[in-house]
């Protein structure tokens, strides 16, 4: 009986082993925290990873900034393109985050929070990998209490695309999505 149970358990474990998910990606082990600090609207976290080197991530919370740095490392793992934060700032209605990616150049976007600005800037990397169009924030307008408008300047013969929304994040997202179809 014990032998039958052991055989069944061994077979069950062998069948389920491919479904096991580790708590952290193996690639993350190649990175070490280098520092963090406060910036307008949140935090910046710097990690050092084998391959791309130093990566800065920005976010409204320390956890968001750390997650953003590792999300940028994930881009490197998937594409072998190094992307890292190159700066952040404020704009009426929110924040600006600029990334630099080898091949795509500077990718700047906007958000109502620092985390949303970082997420939108990283969204521009997805646009670049999907379309080979590098788009960066060129400017924004706003009518206080009414709407925001964001303009992206894109390569690949696209030129300028505009997005409008009731928040800075919504306008940035609309501009990015418009660039996919331009």
Mean pLDDT of the chain: 85
Q: Please report which confidence band the pLDDT of residue 5 belongs to, taking 50, 70 and 90 as the band edges.
A: very low
Average pLDDT of the residues in 15-26: 36
Confidence tier at 28 by pLDDT (50, 70, 90): low
- The pLDDT score that the predictor gives to residue 61 is 97
pLDDT at 89 over 50: yes
Contact between 130 and 181 under an 8 Å Cβ cutoff? The reply is no
Q: Quick check: 23 pLDDT over 70?
A: no
Q: What percent of the chain has pLDDT over 70?
A: 84
Tell me, yes or no, if the pTM score tops 0.85.
no
pLDDT band at 139 (very low <50, low <70, confident <90, very high): confident
Domain boundaries in the chain?
30-181
């Amino acid at each position: 009986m014990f032998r039958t149970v052991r055989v069944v358990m061994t077979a069950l474990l062998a069948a389920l082993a491919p479904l096991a998910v580790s708590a952290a990606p193996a690639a993350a082990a190649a990175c070490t925290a280098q520092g963090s600090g406060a910036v307008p609207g949140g935090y910046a976290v710097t990690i050092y990873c084998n391959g791309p080197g130093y990566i800065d991530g920005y976010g409204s919370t320390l956890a968001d900034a750390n997650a953003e740095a590792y999300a940028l490392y994930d881009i490197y793992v998937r594409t072998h393109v190094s992307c890292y934060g190159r700066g952040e700032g404020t704009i009426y209605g929110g924040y600006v985050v600029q990334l630099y990616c080898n091949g795509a150049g500077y990718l700047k976007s906007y958000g109502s929070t620092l985390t949303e600005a970082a997420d939108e800037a990283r969204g521009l990397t997805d646009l670049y990998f999907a379309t080979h169009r590098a788009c960066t924030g060129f400017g924004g307008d706003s009518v206080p209490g009414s709407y925001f408008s964001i303009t992206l300047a894109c390569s690949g013969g696209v030129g300028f695309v505009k997005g409008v929304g009731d928040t800075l994040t919504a306008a940035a997202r609309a501009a990015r999505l418009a660039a996919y179809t331009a």
